[in-house]
């Protein structure tokens, strides 16, 4: 093989390699950023594209499909100094590849850090109870606050989902102790209320009993008065009714004393006969 033939083969190989380097096939869902001598030249859309070999190069291959970014969990302190654990997932889409590659070093990492920082700021303005029960509100505010920054980086925030908003282990223990203390407090209050009601009912019972005793005594006194009046009317003597009633009570007292289980000996007074004589004697004389 002569020198000319070798040169022709070399030119042919060079031409084939150059043609191969100049042809680019961009897959669907991607856009490629082309630089010429280190400066942005153009963006290749999906499909077949031609670039100038040795002058142009594909510097970045940007995915234009929706990107899922997992935001790591982090400890966040609420307004009432409670520690909770939060994490999230961000769904983003590159709408301007040039801004995405030249506006920030790593747009995926930038979005993660932005979500974490904004999430800490939002939760830090809320109390523990509000943070645990306002997941939708947190999500809406989070998306609203990071959307402007994302636009400057050529990104669109499709959605931000809060995966977990939960108390830390230390907070869970504190909440369990607080719940136990609250249950004990309620039990003490319930017992106190029960004792109070029992005392009120007992006092009302004593009051009712005292009222009934008073009524009974008044009724008994009225009955005694009526009996005295009847005896006085029947006998016609002012002293006889009094002596009659005293004698009756005297005999009843002796009867109770005799019926008592502890009494062994019943003593009769020496003036019993005189008393009886006074009661019945005057009654016969009348």
pLDDT in tens, 8-53: 777 788 788 888 888 889 999 999 999 998 899 999 999 998 888 8
Q: What is the pLDDT of residue 283?
A: 43
Consecutive H or E run containing 179: helix 169-235
Whole-angstrom Cα distance, residue 119 to residue 112? 11
Cα 94 from Cα 111, distance rounded (Å): 12
Helix axes 239-259, 169-235, angle to 10 degrees: 130
Q: Whole-angstrom Cα distance, residue 140 to residue 144? A: 6
Chosen CATH of 67-167 out of 3.30.479.30, 3.30.390.50, 3.30.9.10, 2.40.110.10 = 3.30.479.30
Residues of the chain predicted below pLDDT 50: 280, 282-286
Question: What are the boundaries of each domain within the chain?
Answer: 3-63, 67-167, 169-235, 236-286
Instruction: Report the b/e string of 161-172 with b at 16+ CB within 10 A.
Output: ebeebebeeebe
Please tell me the predicted confidence (pLDDT) of residue 286: 43
Q: How high is the pLDDT of residue 203?
A: 85
Q: Say if CB 82 and CB 142 are below 8 A apart.
A: no
Tell me the pTM: 0.56
């Amino acid at each position: 093989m002569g020198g000319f033939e070798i040169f022709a083969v070399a030119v042919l190989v060079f031409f084939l390699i150059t043609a191969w380097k100049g042809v680019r096939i961009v897959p669907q869902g991607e856009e490629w950023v082309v630089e010429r001598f280190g400066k942005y030249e153009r963006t290749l859309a999906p499909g077949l594209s031609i670039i100038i070999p040795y002058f142009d190069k594909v510097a970045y291959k940007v995915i234009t499909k929706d990107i899922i970014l997992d935001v790591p969990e982090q400890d966040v302190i609420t307004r009432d100094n409670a520690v909770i654990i939060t994490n999230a997932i961000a769904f983003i889409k590159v709408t301007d590849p040039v801004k995405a590659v030249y506006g920030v070093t790593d747009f995926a990492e930038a979005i993660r850090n932005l979500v974490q920082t904004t999430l800490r700021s939002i939760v830090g303005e809320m109390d523990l109870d509000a943070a645990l029960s306002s997941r939708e509100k947190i999500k809406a505010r989070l998306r609203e606050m990071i959307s402007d920054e994302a636009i400057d980086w050529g990104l669109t925030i499709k959605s931000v989902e809060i995966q977990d908003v939960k108390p830390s282990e230390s907070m869970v223990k504190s909440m369990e102790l607080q719940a136990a203390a609250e249950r004990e407090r309620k039990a003490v209050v319930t017992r106190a209320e029960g004792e109070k009601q029992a005392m009120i009912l007992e006092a009302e019972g004593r009051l009712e009993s005292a009222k009934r005793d008073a009524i009974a005594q008044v009724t008994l006194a009225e009955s005694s008065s009526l009996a005295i009046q009847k005896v006085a009317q029947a006998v016609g003597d002012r002293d006889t009714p009094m002596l009659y009633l005293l004698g009756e009570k005297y005999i009843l007292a002796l009867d109770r004393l005799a019926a008592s289980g502890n009494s062994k000996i019943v003593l009769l007074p020496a003036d019993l006969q005189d008393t009886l004589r006074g009661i019945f004697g005057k009654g016969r004389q009348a």
